[in-house]
Copies of this chain bind each other. A is one copy, B any other.
Amino acid sequence: MSVAEVEPSRSVLRRAFSILDAFEAGDVELSLTALAQRSGLPKPTAFRMAHELVSWGALERAPAGGYRLGVRLFVLGERVARHRDLRETAMPFLEDLYEATHENVNLGVLHGHDVLYLARLSGHRSSDVILRVGNFLPAHSTSIGKALLAYSSGDVVRSVVTAGLQRLTPHTIVMPGLFTQALREVVERGYATNHEETHRGVVSVAAPVFGPQRTPIAGISITGRAGRFDVNRLAPAVRTAAASLSRSLASVHSLTAI
C-alpha cells in the first residue's frame, strides 16, 4: 500500500495546496508548466488539481490560457477574523495619519520573524507600489519590525537574531550587537526607523501599538523615498497615531484573535 492510499485526503489536499502556494506575491498568471514546476507535481497531476481548483473558484482560467488565483480566495481571505478587529479599529487612525501627512501609511504585525502587512493607505504621490497588504518582510530590516521587537521579550529578540540577520541592502543592520543597540535606541526615542535597510531608496519610521495588556501587538509606519523624507517631522505624527490606537484598543473589551 502506498502512502497515497493510506492517507488519500492528506495527499490530495497537499497537492492542491502546493498548486495555490505556487503563486508568489506579485504573480498575476502562471502557465500549467510553471504550476507543475513550482509545485513539484507531474504536469498531468497539476492539470487535474488545477481543474478541481477552478471548479471551486480558487483558481480562474486566464484568457491567454494560464491560471490566476480566483476571486473566491479574496472573499475567503477577507473573512479571516484574525487581525480583523485590529484592522477595523485601526482604520480611522490610519486615515487621520494619512490626512495629516499624505504619505504612505502602513499597519503591520509580527508573524514569526517577519512583519505581515495588514493595511496600507497610499495617495497620488506613491505610484510605485513596493509594499502590498498580505506581504511579509523580515522584521529586522523594517521599522515596524524594530518598533515591535524593541518592546518584545528577550526570547523573541534572541530568536530573530539567532535565525540570522539577513543582509537585504548595504544598509541592513546584520551585526547582533549593533542590532540590539538599535532596539535600545528605539525604546529611548519611542519610534523606529529604517534607512534603506529593506529596499534601496526607501526609508520609513514606525511606532508600536500596544494591546489591552500593554503588550506590543502591531506597528504603524510611514514609508517614503529617501531624500524627500523628513523623519523629524513625521515621527511625532506616527507616534501620535500609534498612541491613539493603543488608547482605543485599551478600551476594547474583547479584541478578537489579535
Interface of A toward B, CB cutoff 8 Å = 8-10, 12-17, 20, 23-25, 27-29, 48-49, 52-53, 56, 58, 60, 62, 68-71, 73-83, 88, 91-92, 95-96, 98-99, 111, 116, 121-124, 129, 132-136, 256-257
Pair B82/A74 contact, Cβ less than 8 Å: yes
Pair B70/A80 contact, Cβ less than 8 Å: yes
Residue of B nearest to A81 (CB): B28
- A128 → B minimal CB distance (Å): 11
Pair B134/A121 contact, Cβ less than 8 Å: no
Contacts of A71 in B (CB 8 A): 80, 82-83, 111, 116
Pair A8/B12 contact, Cβ less than 8 Å: yes
If A111-B71, A124-B92 touch, does A13 touch B77 (CB 8 Å cutoff)? no
If A62-B257, A122-B92 touch, does A76 touch B69 (CB 8 Å cutoff)? yes
Contacts of A80 in B (CB 8 A): 68-71, 73-74, 77
- A229 → B minimal CB distance (Å): 19
- A197 → B minimal CB distance (Å): 23
Given A10-B52, A95-B121; 8 other pairs, CB 8 A cutoff: A9-B12, A13-B13, A13-B53, A23-B79, A73-B79, A76-B134, A77-B78, A91-B123
